[in-house]
Amino acid sequence: MLRQALTDAALQSLGIGVEYHPVRTHTVVRPVSKLLCLALLTLTACRPIYTRPARNGPATAAIENKGSDTMVNLALAWAERYRELHPEVNLVVTGGGSGTGIAALLNNTVDIANASRAIKPEEEAAARANGVVPVEFTVARDAIAVVVHPSNPVDTLTLQQVSDIFSGKIQNWQEVGGEDRPIVRLSRETNSGTHIYFMGAVVRLGRADDRTLLSTDTLLLPSSEGISAEVRENPNTIGYEGLGYVTGDMKTVALGLTPEGPFWSPSIETVRSGDYPVAREMFMYTAGEPEGAIRDFIDWVLQPEAQAIVQALGFVPIEE
């Protein structure tokens, strides 16, 4: 299946290659492209052999790690540090999304799948049908903070209010106990994992069938820094960011589920206790209880040294 996909990709890229040549040489390009195709086919046929060396060889080990794009920077940072400590272990990290990673694990093509969500029951069933028993490790946590200008008197919001603000039902800060100011909504661009998580967990309140969309007035900023800059400067704004991006010169809003409270501010403690409502766990899955080099790597990931990297990248480390 993988080989088929790779061949398709190769053919497609060649198709584009042909377009770059002047029309006159079109007939000349054809046989060349066939040759190239052959070469690529041969290469892709080789691929599984050289990327998966003997797993329990004493001198070297290879670990393939694939999945969540949210986690890919974290996984890369871990891999980089781990390679310094254990040069004999070859760690390969790729993204593609949580679903891609889990699917690869089920097909036994990766050793570790990264996922920013828990495995779904149907995925688990498919795994068992394939003779794979996925084992879950919580390796980090991620919280999203709702941020406003420091001068904004609003301290608490319910998730419903945040949802109504971002969907455009609430247009003025007065409606949620603030000053008489228009609300300026700030969001990341749609390609951001944080955007997608925020849409699902807050704007749609975790309801799978909810099709609420952001208000068209929502500013879509290309970076977290863009959001920070505007929140620091403009008292009308409301935005959201990963906890690691929040600095002292903006204000985080405490979030609650009901208007009566309780409300929780995002912090490492409230995230760890599971109280803060906009937080998620990030997982690594292995096929069966891990052994050898994979076990060593996952054990290291749960150690303080690796968890310090978690904090440095703006995520919340797990407790000891």
Partner 1 sequence: MSLDVNPAGRPPDNGLGSEPTEPYRLVALEARRRHVGLGEILVERAIQVTGISAILLVLLIFVFLVREGLPTFADVPFGDLVTQRWYPIEGYYGLLPLIAGSLLITIGAATIALPLGVATAIFIAEIIPNWGREILKPFVEVLAGIPSVVIGFLGMVVISPLFRRSLNIPTGLTAFTGMVLLAWMALPTVVSVVEDVLDTVPKTYRDAGLALGMTQWQTIAKIVLPAGKSGILTALMLGVGRAIGETMTVMMVTGNAPRIPQHPFDVFMPARTMTATIAAEMGEVARGSTHYHVLFAVGLTLFLITFVVNLAAASIVFQRTRRSERMLS
**Candidates 8-16, 53-61, 82-90, 267-275 — which segment interacts with partner 1 by CB under 8 A?**
8-16
The only residue of 65, 70, 194, 218 in contact with partner 1, by rule CB under 8 A: 218
The only residue of 113, 203, 221, 278 in contact with partner 1, by rule CB under 8 A: 221
Sign of the Cα pseudo-torsion (245, 248, 249, 254, in order): positive
Whole-number minimum distance, CB 184 to partner 1, in Å? Answer: 4
**Cα–Cα distance between 26 and 127 in angstroms, integer?**
48
Closest of 209, 223, 1, 193 to residue 97, by C-alpha: 193
Please report whether residue 32 would count as binding partner 1 according to CB under 8 A. no
Whole-number minimum distance, CB 212 to partner 1, in Å? Answer: 11
Please report whether residue 2 would count as binding partner 1 according to CB under 8 A. no
Q: Cβ of 79: how many Cβ atoms within 10 Å?
A: 18
Contacts of 136 (CB under 8 A, 6+ apart): 118, 119, 283, 284, 285
**Cα–Cα distance between 271 and 26 in angstroms, integer?**
60
Q: Which of the residues 229 through 248 are near partner 1 (CB under 8 A)? A: 229-230, 233-234, 236-237
Q: HSE (CB half, 13 Å, CA atoms) of 26?
A: 5
Closest of 92, 96, 34 to residue 61, by C-alpha: 92
Residue type, 204: R
Whole-number minimum distance, CB 236 to partner 1, in Å? Answer: 5
Looking at the Cβ atoms of 39 and 219, the one nearer to partner 1 is 219
Count of positions on this chain that bind partner 1 (CB under 8 A): 31
Looking at the Cβ atoms of 103 and 255, the one nearer to partner 1 is 103
Which contacts (CB < 8 Å, 24+ apart) does range 84-90 have?
Answer: 85/300, 86/296, 88/59, 88/60, 88/61, 89/60, 89/61, 89/62, 89/63, 89/293, 89/296, 89/297, 90/60, 90/61, 90/62, 90/63
Whole-number minimum distance, CB 210 to partner 1, in Å? Answer: 12
- Residues 150-189, one symbol each (x = binds partner 1 by CB under 8 A, - = not), give -------------------------------xxxx----x
**Candidates 45-53, 201-209, 220-228, 295-303 — which segment interacts with partner 1 by CB under 8 A?**
220-228
Q: Which of the residues 189 through 208 are near partner 1 (CB under 8 A)? A: 189-191, 196
- Binding residues for partner 1, per CB under 8 A? 9, 12, 16, 19-20, 22, 181-184, 189-191, 196, 211, 213-214, 216-222, 226, 229-230, 233-234, 236-237
